[in-house]
Structure 1
Amino acid sequence: MAKTLGKESTCSIARSLEAVGDTWTLLIIREAMLTGATRFQEFREALGVAPNILSKRLEKIVEDGLMERRTYREPGSRPRDEYVLTESGRALTLVIGALADWGRVYRPRQDGTSPCFAGEKTGGIARLGFVTADGDFAQPAELVAQRTPDAQLTTP
């Protein structure tokens, strides 16, 4: 039986957290996005995570479809696996961006760093925010949340 978070297993937030609710998972995804890391040792060096924990997290990330495992072989070496973000994993850019913005504002550090997202073709800096159907930006404090069936919502 699959693990479900909380009483409301139909909740999209609970379903999402089942895949990305672990700290190491989001940090692995962050490294893949921001540095292009794909190899076990790259993740290990960047994060300082124990090898057994990293192995388990990468296995779950692949199982959840956020990354795919590909075999590569450098000349004179044995075959090894690399981990490449899937479309589902790349779509977490919004989550990583939102967490980064929140952390920058509400958990500031004098020596802190944050990712900056820009258009690949134009180089224009992208801003994260809620946009209404009219194209206006809405401040989070101006919004109310309500449970809505997934079928009634449009997917980007």
Structure 2
Amino acid sequence: MSVARTARTARSGLLAASAAVALLLSGAAATAPASATTTTTTGLDGTYACSVPAGYVYDGVSMNRSCSGGGSWNSPQFHLRTPVDGLTACTSAPGFTYDSIGHSTTCSQSSGVLASTFHLRIPVNGMWACSVPAGWTYSATGSGLDCAAVQGVPGTRFLLTH
């Protein structure tokens, strides 16, 4: 076998191994079917990224230089999560509502400034929620601090119906 052919074979093997590792890390190699009450966790859940891809929410922000493109300024890096019932996140997600709003620096992109957090829920008939998800309506409203978009100012709650 020639040296050139041996090098090509080794290079092909390395490329195949690299592709397999990338596929595994992306989460595309192994996925489980989602049930009605859970969402499939994928390869990016629990990782940090410079942006939030579709299908994910984030539950924390780290301000650092990792996403600044080599600049000397801090930029946000998001702790990605697959949305599931009961998760407290910095944003809501399609198909979910939230039943309480909190205020914390965890989701803030400014040091020491409070930002809103949302207790995600899969909507069900008769649930009190702070938002009305697409495809749903409500049969009553109420007021309370659990839905306060501004800390200390009561917000509106909705009794969901489908």
TM-score range, shorter chain: under 0.3
Higher share in strand = 2
Greater RCO, 1 or 2 (C-alpha within 8 Å, sep 6+): 2
Q: As a proportion of its length, which structure holds more helix?
A: 1
When normalised by structure 2's length, the TM-score is: 0.23
